[in-house]
Structure 1
Amino acid sequence: MPKISEEHRAEKRQQIIAATLRCVERDGFHKTTMAAVVKESGLSAGSVYTYFRGKSDIIRAIAESGLTAVAEAITSFTPDPDSGDAAPPPERAIEAATQHLLDLSEELGVDLPRIALQTWAEAARDPEVRDLMAPEARRIRAAWRTYAEGAVAAGRFHPDADPERIAIVLTGLLPGFILQRIIVGDVSPKIYGAGLSDLLAAPSQRATQ
């Protein structure tokens, strides 16, 4: 029997993950079954179960791969401390992070904000799902903390500001964007970033804008 290459394995795993995302987007997280994933993927049940033992394994793979890649997006605009470059202002950072989420949605052909909301709802109901998603949430917060450290050093925040507390707030802004995007529908990354700029600007700064 020919040996399956790592490239082939990665391709099949991604095919199954993509099928799962489409099922969740269409039917909701709780109603997405392994039978639905098998049908959506176009693979045999045996093939799917070769790569994943069940839905929890697929969720874990999605979380561990950082599919939304928000942490990586945040890292990309956080300059290396040795580069001498300054961290961008928070409004540009949050605009870039939210725009990345929408760009990736388009690339994958699924509504990642809607999928994220359904996943959070399931995590609130199911401790196992919550535990699977928690590491990715921590990676996103850690990436924001690294950004915050650079932003404090660049004078974007008060010099005595706590990067960890800033990271907690910035992490919370992402779900806020997603929720309003789905429920209200009139929020864009540019508007969201501009709103944060207005919120943080001192009265004297607003007067000169």
Structure 2
Amino acid sequence: MPRLTDARKELRRAQIADAAVRCFGRNGLAQTSIADITAESGLSAGSIYAHYRNKAELVRAAAREVLAKRAGVLGEYAAADTPPGPDDLLALLVAAIDPAEARVGVQTWGEATTNPDIRDIVVDMTGRMRAMLHDCVTAWLVKVEHHDPDAARERAAPIAHRLMALYQAELLYVAMRTPDQEEEA
């Protein structure tokens, strides 16, 4: 049997993680089985277990997939000649919220209250997202508001914290909408 290249392994891992996000969003973390993810991905259980040891690893991968999407967008915003200000940044992030990903995020937060492995994932991912928001706000303060870089980094911290809280509130709001409400949005 031919061996998978590293690039092919990463594509397969992403395929599995995307299937997990869809299943978690549809069925919930607790109700989703590896068999559900197998069926959704179109792969064998052996293939799934060759890439992920357990469901906690799949939750971690799903969270990283979602975060990677946000990281790419936030990186582009921070690198722009005119980065968006905090209000515009929040509006852009909210407009990009996928309802299934929002449901997975909220379920993951809930699971984090009782599962230390999931808690570690949530703490790590939240910290990374806040750091990316901090970088975007710092870039805006320096490039648009013409603050000194050191002062901008300091001033950006509480702004990024509030942006993170507002973004999480919007995720909860989107996650709680019914399919009919999603269609209206």
- TM-score bracket, shorter-length normalisation: 0.7 to 0.9
Residues 1:128 and 2:117 are matched in the alignment: yes
Compared with structure 1, are the counterparts of its residues 24 and 139 closer, same or farther at alpha carbon in structure 2 (3 Å cutoff)? same
Q: In structure 2, do the counterparts of structure 1 residues 16 and 87 end up closer, same or farther at CA, with 3 Å as the change threshold?
A: closer
What TM-score does the superposition give when structure 1 sets the normalisation length?
Answer: 0.71
Change (3 A) 1:86 1:76: same
| Aligned-partner residue type, residue 9 of structure 1 | K
Provide the rounded CA distance (Å) in 2 between the counterparts of 1:140 and 1:3: 35
Structure 1 residue runs without a partner (length 5+): 106-110, 188-209
Q: In 2, Cα distance between the equivalents of 1:38 and 1:79? A: 39
CA contact (8 A) 1:68 1:112 kept: no
1:63, 1:135 within 8 Å by CA — same for their partners in 2?
no
Specify the SS of the correspondent of 1:32.
coil
Aligned residues: 176
In structure 1, C-alpha distance between the alignment counterparts of 2:129 and 2:13, rounded to whole Å: 24
**Structure 1 partner of 2:173:** 180
Superposition pairs of residues 117-196 of structure 1, within 5 angstroms = 117-153=106-142, 154-155=144-145, 162-183=155-176
Please tell me whether the aligned partners of residues 74 and 143 of structure 1 are also in contact (alpha carbons under 8 angstroms): yes
Q: Contact 1:66–1:136 at 8 Å: present in 2 too? A: no
Shift of 1:184: 5.7
Amino acid at match of 2:9: R
Deviation at 1:65, TM superposition (A): 4.1
Residue aligning to 1:16: 16
CA contact (8 A) 2:97 2:171 kept: no
Q: 1:148 & 1:54 partners in 2: Cα distance?
A: 37
| CA positional deviation for 1:117 | 1.4
Cα root mean square deviation, aligned: 2.9
CA contact (8 A) 1:21 1:115 kept: yes
- Normalising by structure 2, we get a TM-score of 0.79
C-alpha distance after superposition, 1:132-164 (max 9, x if no partner):
23222111111111122233333399x787211
5+ residue gaps, structure 2, are none
Contact 1:68 1:101 in 2 (8 A): no
Larger Rg over CA atoms = 1
Q: 1:62 to 1:183 in 2, by over 3 A?
A: closer
C-alpha distance 184-56 of structure 1, shift in aligned 2 (>3 A)? closer
